Amino acid sequence: MSLTARRPTAAAPPAAGPGRGKVERQWPLALALLAPAMIVVFGVVLYPMGRTLVLSLVDATSALQTEFTFSGLSNYTALLSNSEFWATVWRTAVFTVFSTAVELVVGLLLAQFLNQRIRGQWFFRSLVVLAWALPTIVSANMWRWILHPEYGALNGLLMHLGLLDSYKDWIGGPTQALFVVALVDAWKTTPLVAILLLASMQTIGDDVYEAAAMDGAGAVRRFLSITIPMLKPAIAVVLVLRTIEAFKVFDIIYIMTRGGPDSGTTTIAFYTYLQAFSNQEFSLGSAAAYLTVLFIFVLSLVYLRMLRTDSGGTA
């Protein structure tokens, strides 16, 4: 009796179950639910970006202009060859570095304080968040009146304490005004930095500090050798967020100084506003806006590379 080898039969395709048909019937509903968000994204993000790109490549003096003369990259070359534009970029860089550095140092110390087991801890945390919770227009106007050269509260306090002989114009000079406004920006956003770092601090176990204390490490040594190294990922994230936000600062400068004195606080975002709405050079303003996006994109790439290197990945 001979044996014949059986040929393997091909597996039958899986039958369409009831779940697959249900998914196919529900996709119109899913599309309908997504439609409002898609419309908002298109109207608020995609269309303005496309419109701004078109304006940066033509010769336009109004955002509502319908007939254009194509100018190519002439608006970009005009900006890149303009010394005033590069001075604006330099001021923006100084503002960003100073504001971010103050926020990181003060926020780190503040987070360390809030991480201690003290009575009324909830009160101090609520008090810290208050400055960040204030709308920017409120805090900027508040500091504008505090720093007023004639009847500001800061001058009155310092004169009452005998630290000043006469009222001082805190934002009267270009360089001085830039650093003062950067400090106001840091005052507004340092609480956010502190809360983010505090959240990361609370993931560090007490046993690590106890072991270091048993080895004779003091409070400062534990902070430098344990807290700082273990906060590096959180610090990198804070640097990414705050650098990008500080680089495109506009509202505080608009309210406090209007870019003055002598263009001392004119950052790249405020320069874009002046070109588009004050000088009616919408093409130059649009090109400046896209150059700002390019600068922020390069900064983001640098920080993402830092994050990948810090996490042990390959760049």
- Work out the pLDDT band at 1, boundaries 50, 70, 90: very low
Q: Is the pLDDT of residue 315 over 50?
A: no
Q: What's CA 196's distance to the chain center, in Å?
A: 14
E strand map for 155-233:
none
Sign, CA dihedral 88-53-298-77, equals negative
Element housing 208 (H / E): helix 206-214
Region 69-83 average pLDDT = 90
Average the pLDDT over 155-177 and give the result. Answer: 89
Whole-number average pLDDT of the chain:
84
109 against 131, higher pLDDT: 109
Give the residue-averaged pLDDT of 217-239. 85
Predicted TM-score (pTM) above 0.85: no
Per residue in 15-72, pLDDT (tens digit) is 555 555 555 667 888 888 888 888 888 888 888 888 888 888 888 877 677 777 888 8
Q: Which of 148, 136, 147 is nearest to 185 (CA)?
A: 136
CA 169 – CA 158 distance, rounded (Å): 13
Per-residue pLDDT reduced to its tens digit, 252-301: 999 999 998 999 999 999 999 999 888 888 899 999 999 998 888 888 78
CA separation for the pair 77, 75 (Å, rounded): 6
Asked whether the predicted pLDDT for residue 314 surpasses 80, the reply is no
What is the SS3 assignment for 266?
coil
CA dist list (Å): 27 to 17, 68, 132: 17, 42, 42
Q: What is the pLDDT of residues 99-110, one digit of tens each?
A: 999 999 999 999
**Which overall architecture, per CATH, does domain 74-310 show?**
Orthogonal Bundle (1.10)
Q: pLDDT above 90 covers what percent of the chain?
A: 32
Q: 42: how many CB neighbours lie within 10 A of its CB?
A: 12
Q: When comparing pLDDT for 12 and 28, which is higher?
A: 28
